[in-house]
Amino acid sequence: MASASKTAPNRGAIHPFDEKYGTDTAGYLGPEDLVTGQKHDAFNYGYSAIAPSVFREACRRWRETLPAVAGRVEAYSFVDVGAGKGRALLLASELPFRRIIGVELNPDLARTAQRNLTRRLRATRSKTSIRAVQEDALNFRWPRPPLLVYLYNPFDCSLIARFAEKLAALSSSSASSLVDILYVNPTCSDALTGSGAFSRIWTARIHMDEADRKADPYGTATDVVSAYRCTR
């Protein structure tokens, strides 16, 4: 296993996002740092937070693909699976989602995410329905579609395949079958599309802005993001 210093040489950088909002979302934690004794610990890929510029551009591209009739962002719930410290949830609150939920297996990260959300909501006096829950994603009770599900390469491909099956079943059993996925660094894309329930609608290599490049824990300047739509 590569050392954290080699995997994330810039892991200690403080992100301007946290300086601006008084939150704690930066850094890198390897899989070995997140062991909790729970069933799916071994499938975890570690923690780092999405670059805000990448998230905003990915959401912009996703919005351009929404169906003309049912494609109002206000109708969608946003669910971050493997929410970590909650940066994507905070960024999602910039858009008028119906509700915003983070699902995180690690209890320490889930508590940090909720503290970040509480701090931000107090500062903005937002009435957005937004929360972080500590739970195994495979046991999570999903809100009704339409859904935008967000993944930042959270865990092993075998879990991604099971996860896709659950979402496909949800889509087929709901009056609204709209279930989309934004998948950052989609290393398990074959597992996601293998059942035939999800089709990729676009893939893009998105460049970070200067602030994000300087604070990126991996020292990279781009992320690959794919968007998928349930076709059942």
Lookup: tokens for 205: 């290599």
Of all residues in the chain, what percent carry a pLDDT higher than 90? 60
Q: Which residue has the higher pLDDT, 100 or 119?
A: 100
CATH architecture of 4-230: 3-Layer(aba) Sandwich (3.40)
> Cα(131)–Cα(133) distance, rounded to whole angstroms?
7
pLDDT at position 121, please?
A: 81
* Confidence at residue 11, expressed as pLDDT on a 0 to 100 scale: 82
Side by side, the strands of the sheet bearing 147-152 are 130-134, 99-104, 77-81, 147-152, 179-184, 222-230, 198-207
Helix (H, G, I), strand (E, B) or coil at 75: helix
147 versus 11: the higher-pLDDT residue is: 147
Q: Is the pLDDT of residue 113 over 90?
A: yes
The C-alpha angle with vertex 92 and arms to 90 and 95, in degrees rounded to 5, equals: 125
Residue 126 has pLDDT above 80, yes or no: no
Per residue in 8-45, pLDDT tens? 788 888 899 999 999 999 988 765 665 665 555 555 55
Domain assignments of the chain as residue spans, ordered by start: 4-230
pLDDT in tens, 87-108: 999 999 999 999 999 999 999 9
